[in-house]
Amino acid sequence: MTATGAGGSSRGLERRTVVQRLLSDRGGLLVVTGLGSSTWDAAAAGDDARNFYLWGAMGGAAAMGMGLALARPEHPVLVITGDGEQLMGLGALATIGARRPGNLAIVVLDNGLYGETGMQPSHTSCGTDLAGVAAACGFSWSARVEAMAEVEALRERIHRCDGPCLASVQIAADEPPRVLPVRDGVELKNRFRRALALAPN
C-alpha cells in the first residue's frame, strides 16, 4: 500500500473480486453503499439485510456511514463507494476526521471515471488523491490499494476498528453485469432496522 499519491497508476483490480473479499466472513459488519456500481457489487457478493443501499443519493454514502458508526459503535461499519460519488461528498471526510469514529472504514472503488454518466474522467484521473484528502482531514489511516494482498490486509483492518480509515482501491475500468438489489427505500430502511433488532418506524 502507498500512503498517498494520485494520478493514473496501475488501475487494474477486478471490482467484484475486491468487494467479495471485503464482505467475506463479515461477522457483525454493517455496510453502506454509494449509488450505482458499488451497490451492484455488494449485491453480487450476496444480498444481506445489513447492507444499506443508497441507490441515487450521490455524495451521501460517507455521511450516512459516519452517522451509523456513531450510532452503533459496537459494529464495524464499511462504506463502499466510487470515486465520483466520494468526490461529491468531500465535505463529509472533514466531519469524519473531526468526529473520529473508530469503527468506520471507507473503501473507494477508484477507476478514475464517472461510471454512471458515461465513463467521463473523474478528478482522480487528473491528480486528486482521495487517500491524501482523508489523511489531511485527520483519518487514522488512509492508503491507495493496488493488489489483492493489500485487500486482504484492508479487510482485517476494517474488522479491527482502528479507524476512521479510507482506502482508495485502484480498479479496472470494466462494467460487470448489474446485480440489482431491493430498490424500495422504505423496505431497505425497515429490513436494516430489523437486522439490528430495532422496530421499523
Length of the chain: 201
Residue 12, pLDDT score: 86
Give CA–CA dist 132/162, Å, rounded: 18
Residue 153, pLDDT score: 95
Specify whether the CB–CB gap between 167 and 131 falls below 8 A: yes
pTM: 0.90
Residue 172, pLDDT score: 87
Q: What is the 3-state secondary structure (H, E, C) of the chain?
A: CECCCCCCCCCCECHHHHHHHHCCCCCCCEEEECCCHHHHHHHHCCCCCCEEECCCCCCCHHHHHHHHHHHCCCCCEEEEEEHHHHHHCHHHHHHHHHHCCCCEEEEEEECCEECCCCCEECHHHHCCCHHHHHHHCCCCEEEEECCHHHHHHHHHHHHHCCCCEEEEEEECCCCCCCCCCCCCHHHHHHHHHHHCCCCCC
pLDDT tens over the chain, length 201 residues: 544 443 434 458 999 999 999 999 999 999 999 988 899 999 999 999 999 999 878 889 999 999 999 999 999 999 999 988 899 899 999 999 999 999 999 999 998 766 566 567 666 677 789 999 999 999 999 999 999 999 999 999 999 999 999 999 999 888 888 898 999 999 999 999 999 998 777
Residue 115, pLDDT score: 59
Whole-angstrom CA distances from 30 to 49, 89, 109, 199 are 9, 20, 18, 17
Residue 173, pLDDT score: 86
Residue 5, pLDDT score: 40
Residue 9, pLDDT score: 41
Residue 151, pLDDT score: 96
Residue 118, pLDDT score: 53
* Start-to-end C-alpha separation, the chain: 42
Class of CATH domain 15-195: alpha beta
Show me where the domains of the chain are located: 15-195
Specify whether the CB–CB gap between 181 and 52 falls below 8 A: no
